[in-house]
Amino acid sequence: MKRSEINQQIVNAKELLKKYSIILPPFAYWSPDDWKSKGRECDEIRDCMLGWDITDFGSDQFDKIGLVVFTVRNGHPTMKEYGLKTYCEKIIIMKPNQHCPMHFHWNKTEDIINRCGGNLVFKMHNMTKDEKLADTPVTVSLDGVKKTFAAGEEVVLKPGESMTVPAYLYHEFWAQEGKGMLVAGEVSKVNDDNTDNRFLMPAGRFPEVEEDCPPVHYLCTEYPTAR
């Protein structure tokens, strides 16, 4: 992805969140110059990959396959100093018909919440022994109510509704066409995007960045080490 595109997606996201009176933590607004003065006291932000996460999953088609994510809080899968934090929270912004591709997590159970805006659509499949899509019915919890759906059936979550997605459950989701921009949330066990994602089709979780202009904000993979 070009840096200019990443910058624009962050600017758009901040404007949309402001519209819905969603205020991010202070580090969301730090510039690269601000980071020059940030020492070891900010290592939790660095180590736990908090902050902006813009990805097209290696598709080169961000408007069709991509996400704007802001990780608000997270623990760490291996670093003991963050062991008390066993949870993660993310804000996810999607354009109409923009997809997060089919995948499951080896370890993470998560609640995906439609916070506001448009409708959030899910497709789900159980996993076969060879990590393919099963055709068996899928049972999940929607806001504490257990429901069963056919494999691959589209499930629509309206604003305020949520779904619990357990480990090993294949899922794909997107903002419904014609319903506008979507602000979703994720509340989960500790998130590890380096090792815990199993995509059905090959995908790159973090993009290669073409530096056609300076960054407005660093991505969560880009923070400089403390001096």
For residues 205-227, give the mean pLDDT.
Answer: 95
pLDDT single digits (tens) 128-140: 999 999 999 999 9
Measured CA distances, 67 to 54, 91, 169, 227 (Å): 6, 10, 20, 32
**Residue 199, Cβ density class (10 Å: 0-12 exposed, 13-18 middle, ≥19 buried):** middle
The amino acid that residue 108 corresponds to is K
Instruction: Give residue-wise pLDDT tens across range 29-62.
Output: 999 999 999 999 999 999 999 999 999 999 999 9
Q: Where are the beta strands (DSSP E) in 48-128?
A: 51-55, 67-74, 87-94, 99-105, 110-117, 120-125
- Can you tell me the distance from the alpha carbon of 74 to that of 23, in angstroms, rounded to the nearest whole number? 18
The separation between the first and the last C-alpha atoms of the chain, rounded to the nearest angstrom, is: 29
State which amino acid sits at residue 184.
A
Q: Shortest CA distance to 62 belongs to which of 164, 203, 213, 162?
A: 203
Q: Tell me the pLDDT of the chain averaged across its residues.
A: 97
In this structure, CATH architecture of domain 3-199: Sandwich (2.60)
Query: Model confidence over 150-173: pLDDT tens digits?
Result: 999 999 999 999 999 999 999 999
Say what the pLDDT of residue 227 is: 74
Query: Is the model's pTM score more than 0.85?
Result: yes
Write the Ramachandran bin of 143: left for phi over 0, alpha for psi from -120 to 50, otherwise beta: left
Instruction: Tell me the average pLDDT across 119-134.
Output: 98
| pLDDT for 220 beyond 80 | yes
CA distance 146 to 151: 16
